[in-house]
């Protein structure tokens, strides 16, 4: 008995082969394609997402927007040809590519829908950026970066993305918050993935809630990737835990950009534990004075940790009464984190750790006869 194959069987086989080829191509995209010559062919406006994906994988991408551009000369060095949407029907172009390399087809990408991702970059250094943050940057079309989002080469983490510096400095907001939100929303409404890269955590004095609201009001999908807050990470980098059993079971994080009101200071002193001030260097004197007037003992340990996680990080340790003078003599500036409370004594233990070394120009203070005011760096 002779088995007869219908004319509809062959397309099934071809489809199976096509699926296998596309699976192999997908594997390639997950690997390092650095330097691999790839030609993406398709009508203008339909190939951008495909081009970006291969380019970010390291491939050397060229684009052909019409069948006439797919010539033997143009394909001479191509190792992978990608036909997008209608280009699958460019018979002559497909034959030309197939004579030189592997050819795969891809459907026209869905109409782009923009989104916003708020990413907390942590207190400094690429190693403190979360894996979720790294992935978000790799997918970004636009990155709006803060001054304190110090993760190194943002362009390398977000290849092909538009990087916009919207960093703010004390007393100087080159790009006002309202404009930042407008840029974020406009780019996302244009179909782009916008990453708002922020120092520390987006929700800790980072105006993240306002930016989430702006995205939601514009009807945009929005997600938030948490980051290590400088309120905890920076003191920790100097050996100062914000809590310790038997010493402090509570810590309060306060924005120091304005002086404390008397009732606020009294509440902080009454609560006890550890007080951490962010953005407070220009108000160091009034902040310490307010706590003292509210009844906090003058010999309460206090510290400034300057430029947390930077190569030139240093700690200036004294007391509530002495810290402003010590910081002034050391020329301490922003960005710095101020810590007040008994936990600051732990920095003396940190200074004795194996591998610790002091730096020149230290400023001496004292707590119960112990020498403080030391300037330390972080030993990896």
The one-digit pLDDT tens for each residue of the chain (380 residues) are: 433 333 333 334 445 544 544 444 444 444 568 899 999 999 886 787 788 788 878 899 999 999 999 999 999 999 999 999 999 999 899 999 999 999 999 987 776 679 999 999 999 878 899 999 998 998 888 999 987 667 678 877 887 788 898 876 655 557 899 999 999 999 999 888 999 999 999 999 989 999 999 999 999 999 999 999 999 999 999 999 999 999 999 999 999 999 999 999 999 999 999 999 999 999 999 999 999 999 999 999 999 999 999 888 999 999 999 999 999 999 999 999 999 999 999 888 777 777 665 433 334 454 433 333 444 443 32
Catalytic pick among 168, 179, 312, 368: 168
Query: Residue 125 CA to chain centroid, in angstroms?
Result: 10
Residue 4: inside a domain: no
Same domain, 325 and 348: yes
The CATH number given to whatever domain includes residue 47 is: 3.40.50.2300
Residue 52: inside a domain: yes
- Cβ atoms of 64 and 41 within 8 Å: the answer is yes
- Cβ atoms of 266 and 325 within 8 Å: the answer is no
Same domain, 177 and 98: no
Tokens of 187: 């780019």
The CATH number given to whatever domain includes residue 134 is: 3.40.1010.10
Residue 380: inside a domain: no
**Among 175, 204, 228, residue at a domain's last position:** 228
Q: Is 168 a catalytic residue?
A: yes
Same domain, 240 and 357: yes
- Cβ atoms of 100 and 83 within 8 Å: the answer is no
Domain limits for position 212: 115-228
Same domain, 161 and 186: yes
Q: Which residue has the tokens 């400034």?
A: 304
Q: Global pTM? A: 0.71
Tokens of 63: 């684009």
42 φ, ψ to 5°?
170, 160
The CATH number given to whatever domain includes residue 337 is: 3.30.950.10
> Among 59, 2, 63, which residue's Cα sits nearest to residue 25?
59
Same domain, 153 and 253: no
Same domain, 334 and 252: yes
**Among 228, 253, 270, residue at a domain's last position:** 228
CA distances in angstroms from 82 to 14, 90, 91, 352, 374, listed in the order given: 17, 12, 13, 60, 61
Q: Are strands 314-319 and 301-306 parallel, antiparallel or unpaired?
A: antiparallel
Same domain, 200 and 330: no
Same domain, 17 and 53: yes
Counting the structural domains of the chain, the total is 3
Same domain, 301 and 172: no
Tokens of 134: 């790294």
DSSP structural state of residue 94: H
Catalytic pick among 141, 146, 198, 201: 146
> In sequence order, which ranges of 57-123 are alpha helices (DSSP H)?
91-98
**Among 84, 106, 128, residue at a domain's last position:** 106
Residue 378: inside a domain: no
Residue 53: inside a domain: yes
Q: Is 360 a catalytic residue?
A: no
Same domain, 288 and 165: no
Residue 316: inside a domain: yes
Say which residues have a Cβ less than 8 Å from residue 19's Cβ, sequence separation at least 6.
Answer: none
Same domain, 272 and 349: yes
Residue 363: inside a domain: yes
Q: Which residue has the tokens 């119960």?
A: 368
The Cα angle at residue 146 between residues 142 and 151, in degrees rounded to 5: 85
Q: What sign does the dihedral 264-266-271-276 (CA atoms) show? A: positive
Same domain, 368 and 235: yes
Residue 135: inside a domain: yes
């Amino acid at each position: 008995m002779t088995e007869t194959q219908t004319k509809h069987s062959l397309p099934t086989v071809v489809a199976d082969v096509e699926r296998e080829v596309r699976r192999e191509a997908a594997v390639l995209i997950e690997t390092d394609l650095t330097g691999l010559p790839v030609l993406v062919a398709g009508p203008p406006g339909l190939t951008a997402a495909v081009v970006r994906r291969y380019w970010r994988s390291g491939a050397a991408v060229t684009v052909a927007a019409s069948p006439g551009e797919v010539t033997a000369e143009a394909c001479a060095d191509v190792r992978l040809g990608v036909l997008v949407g209608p280009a699958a029907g460019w018979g002559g172009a497909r034959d030309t590519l197939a004579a030189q390399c592997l050819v795969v087809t891809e459907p026209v990408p869905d109409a782009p829908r923009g989104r916003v991702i708020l990413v907390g970059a942590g207190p400094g250094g690429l190693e403190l950026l979360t894996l979720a943050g790294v992935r978000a940057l790799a997918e970004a079309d636009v990155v709006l970066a803060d001054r304190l989002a110090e993760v190194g080469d943002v362009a390398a983490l977000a290849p092909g993305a538009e990087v916009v510096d919207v960093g703010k400095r004390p007393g100087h907001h080159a790009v006002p918050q309202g404009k930042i939100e407008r840029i974020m929303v406009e780019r996302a409404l244009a179909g782009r993935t916008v990453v708002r890269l922020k120092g520390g955590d987006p929700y800790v004095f980072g105006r993240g809630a306002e930016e989430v609201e702006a995205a939601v009001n514009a009807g945009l999908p929005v997600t938030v990737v948490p980051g290590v807050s400088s309120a905890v990470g920076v003191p920790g980098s100097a050996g100062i835990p914000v809590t310790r059993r038997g010493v402090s079971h509570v810590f309060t994080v306060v924005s120091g950009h304005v002086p404390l009101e008397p009732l606020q200071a009294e509440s902080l002193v009454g609560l006890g534990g550890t007080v951490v001030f962010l953005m407070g260097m220009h108000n160091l004197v009034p902040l310490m004075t307010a706590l003292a007037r509210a009844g906090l003992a003058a010999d309460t340990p206090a510290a400034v940790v300057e430029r947390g996680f930077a190569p030139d990080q240093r700690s200036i340790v004294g007391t509530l009464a002495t810290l402003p003078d010590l910081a002034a003599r050391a020329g301490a500036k922003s960005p710095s984190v101020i810590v007040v409370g008994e936990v600051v004594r732990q920095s003396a233990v940190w200074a004795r750790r194996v591998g610790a070394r002091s730096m020149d120009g230290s400023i001496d203070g004292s707590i119960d006869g112990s020498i403080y005011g030391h300037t330390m760096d972080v030993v990896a």
